[in-house]
């Protein structure tokens, strides 16, 4: 058989493509296309052995896939100046593609081209900013069905979310996965800014007992849903409250602070931590203040509690804006 394809359910397409690629059998020279209302055809070079699929078929009249967005737009007659304004990167989050369009012309054409490139997606969403007390995303549907509810899978962790209502940072993927590798089964953890379960879920899946705190009501509902979706309800105690108001019945071994202004909450974090416990503090820091500012904030807060700080690790997660980095400092507090 030539022009093989596998059938998978639409919500599982993103994960299946990653697994097929890892197997070395995914054929990115042909388009992903819809098979029926519930399934898609993912082109493969040979029958996979390690990816769960519904069926293997031979595609009828397979369609070649242009290699990238630029090729699509050139084929539609875009000028060099217009191409310079097109998005240079985007993220596939479940069945939604999230991109920043800013001054891009003919946004709908770009959206349709992205849908053509990523047949597993059905909605293109423009990320326009963040607003409000609960840091809610400002978005615009650019192309596709407009359905922004989806399930996104990373390293086996499933995140149900609505990208019109809650934030999701694709650039934090490695940090989310990392937290699932460093906790111990049974370890008590406080996640002060749990959101939909960004860090809570990988830690709970690794066996940690996580107290997850989130005050945004929409994010909190997805947190509860995701605990069920991942089968970790027994590992998560979830509270919808300001994290400064939570009272722990006993100290925790680790505090997760996945919020850019986490330093403002260090007093509460250190009060919840057992002697020798670890804090993971996120922050946005100008390049010229790495690593003096985040480390200084940790040391200053620890000093007020009569504690000393041992810096275990310092990491740049991603660029936040020009000259500013999203960073994490891991520290043991004695």
Lookup result for tokens 């993912």: 42
Nearest CA to 75 out of 103, 124, 112, 101 is that of 112
d(Cα 287, Cα 323) in Å, to the nearest integer? Answer: 6
- Bridge-based pairing of strands 324-333 and 209-213 is unpaired
The residues facing 259 across adjacent strands are none
- Bridge-based pairing of strands 39-43 and 55-58 is unpaired
DSSP 64: B
- Bridge-based pairing of strands 33-34 and 4-9 is unpaired
Q: Ramachandran region of residue 137, left (φ > 0), alpha (ψ -120 to 50) or beta?
A: beta
Q: Is 63 annotated as a binding residue?
A: no
Q: Is 289 annotated as a binding residue?
A: no
Q: List strands edge to edge, sheet with 136-144.
A: 90-93, 96-99, 123-131, 136-144
Nearest CA to 200 out of 191, 330, 238 is that of 191
Lookup result for tokens 């860090």: 199
Q: Is 315 annotated as a binding residue?
A: no
d(Cα 138, Cα 129) in Å, to the nearest integer? Answer: 5
Binding residues: 169, 176, 214
Binding residues for S-adenosyl-L-methionine: 169, 176, 214
């Amino acid at each position: 058989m030539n022009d093989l394809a596998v059938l998978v359910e639409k919500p599982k397409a993103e994960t299946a493509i990653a697994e097929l690629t890892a197997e070395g059998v995914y054929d990115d020279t042909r388009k992903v296309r819809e098979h029926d209302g519930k399934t898609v055809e993912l082109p493969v070079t040979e029958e996979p052995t390690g990816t769960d699929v519904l069926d293997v078929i031979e595609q009828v009249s397979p369609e070649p896939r242009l290699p990238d967005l630029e090729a699509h737009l050139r084929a539609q007659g875009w000028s060099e100046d217009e191409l310079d304004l097109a998005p240079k990167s985007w993220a596939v989050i479940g069945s939604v593609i999230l991109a920043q369009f800013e001054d891009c012309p003919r946004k709908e054409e770009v959206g349709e081209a992205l849908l053509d490139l990523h047949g597993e997606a059905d909605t293109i969403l423009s990320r326009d900013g963040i607003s409000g007390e609960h840091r809610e995303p400002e978005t615009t549907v650019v192309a596709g069905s407009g359905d922004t509810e989806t399930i996104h899978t990373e390293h086996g962790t499933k995140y149900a979310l609505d990208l019109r209502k809650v934030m999701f940072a694709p650039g934090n993927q490695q940090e989310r996965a990392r937290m699932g590798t460093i906790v111990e089964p049974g370890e008590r953890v406080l996640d002060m800014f749990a959101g939909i379960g960004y860090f809570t879920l990988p830690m709970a899946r690794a066996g940690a007992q996580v107290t997850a705190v989130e005050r945004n009501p929409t994010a909190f509902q997805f947190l509860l849903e995701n605990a069920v979706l991942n089968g970790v309800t027994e590992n998560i105690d979830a509270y919808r409250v300001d994290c400064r108001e939570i009272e722990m019945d006993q100290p925790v071994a680790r505090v997760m602070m996945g919020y850019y202004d986490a330093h403002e909450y260090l007093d509460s974090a250190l009060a919840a931590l057992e002697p020798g416990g670890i804090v993971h503090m996120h922050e946005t820091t100008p390049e010229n203040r790495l690593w003096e500012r985040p480390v200084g904030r940790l040391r200053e807060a620890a000093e007020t509690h009569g504690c000393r700080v041992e810096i275990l690790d310092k990491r740049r997660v991603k660029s936040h804006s020009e000259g500013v980095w999203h960073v994490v400092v891991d520290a043991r507090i004695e």
